[in-house]
Structure 1
Amino acid sequence: MSIFTRYILSELLRIFGLALIALTFLLTVGFGAREGLNRGMPPALIVRMSPFMLPEVLGITTPIAVLLAISQVLGRVSGTNELIAVRSAGLSPMVVVRPAIVFAYFISLLTVWSYDLAATWGRSNARRVAVEALEEIVYAKLRREKGYESEKFVIKVMALDGKRLLRPTITIQTDPNQPAMVLRAEQAELFTDVKAGTLTIVCRKPVTEIGDARITVSDTLTQTIPLETPQPSLHRQWLSMAEIPAAVDQLRRDVEQLQLYLRSAGATA
């Protein structure tokens, strides 16, 4: 390896490393942490989730850092007339460009690996941590804003006494095709079951409304809400590179079965 090639590679690595650290920190802390706080996540939970978010963040920041490094180094080489000196020495400009191409190629392999790691390890563990801490998240947001909203349920309270919700109104809609269930109670408490992936709401003397129906319970009512939405097994976000060919074959078989069904349905019609 020539001195000039080592010089180009060392400059690329230096600028790439600085850019990667700065961009990753900006996305993880500046945007990820802010979004987590806006969603009511306590800082401790954001710190716990950060390692699982890192592979996906690196998949975004690594190509940008490579582009910045190559643009900076090659631009400086051209601006300081080093490229002219190389050509004056009878060397091809590829002496300058080739190290950048090789550098970008190997870094691109790391980018693919980071996406693979995000699919097989990062996203699933981030979801697990979020489910484990859901009770903490809900209580923290209820204390701060007297309300919490998610895709499956909405909780509004008059006040909190420790873990007891006072005069809560809870709207539950786990199925968009069914009418929502509205619970109004004197008191309620929340419990999460991490293994089952559920949130249990225990209401005292609730009034339940489902559509036009209204039911009053004089004692307690326990309502369980499933938290985990089944992850799409054939979605790229949840598949490693090794699993994609088998998933493609499965999709082809599904399409063939659907075509056979449509042909048979058309023939009988």
Structure 2
Amino acid sequence: MDRPVNALSKAIRRRLGPSRLRDVLHGVPLGHPLHPAMAMVSAGCWIASAVLDVTRSDPRASRTLIATGVGMALPTATAGLADWSTLHREQQRVGFVHAIMNVTATGLYTGSLLMRMAGRERTGRALAFTGLGAVSVGAYLGGHMAYRQAAGANHAESVSHLVPLGWHDLCSLKDLPNGRPVRRRLGYIELFVLRLGDGVSVLADGCSHLAGPLHQGRVTVEDGDPCIVCPWHSSVFRISDGSVVHGPATAKQPAFRTRLRQDGVVQVRPAD
């Protein structure tokens, strides 16, 4: 599957590019991925229609639920493809089959709706139950991606509970290159450190998207604020507080407060 996966993911990334639309599809304004929440609408409608079919309840209600699920499938798939295009290859392989199953389910439910509208209720129910099987397999694979492969999860664990209270010595200011990010350790926690003049900004180093090393990223400016671009999938974070400027990341980077001792040693503590 690697050849079609590679071609499709490149085409999607090239088409979306860095844009406001891409951020919305990733769910940046919500603070978590958009696709799983939207998928619940289609899946919920189709499961509800199956209950109505089993109980032989109002056929019009079943048609309405199926039509709603089919109508939500396209925007749901669009958000899902945006997320999928920036995953690791192992995750993309599972996601590719996940997408195939969901496209199959959408086609079956579309056929079910057409059969019902033509008065062929029995055929429509048969197609719907087959579609429910397909969407169930797709949902299982989606759960595998989320809970076993950690696609869409926050990979930048909050570090406040891992650091003892108070200020902690990090390094000497003179040991930090000016304008170039570096990695430093606070105990066993790896930190992104950037010195700009006499000021020092510190974030957790592992990107919240898929744990990419932020210290290897590129420093840029967005709306007048210094930002760091993840070298793996180009998520952009504001250096001052770790907030997400551009996705695919949706969770902010844990940030640290800093101060400079009189002897030139930089001290840090987790930000409030």
TM-score by length of 1: 0.31
Higher relative contact order (CA 8 A, sep 6+): 2
TM-score by length of 2: 0.30
| Greater helix share, structure number | 1
Larger Rg: 1
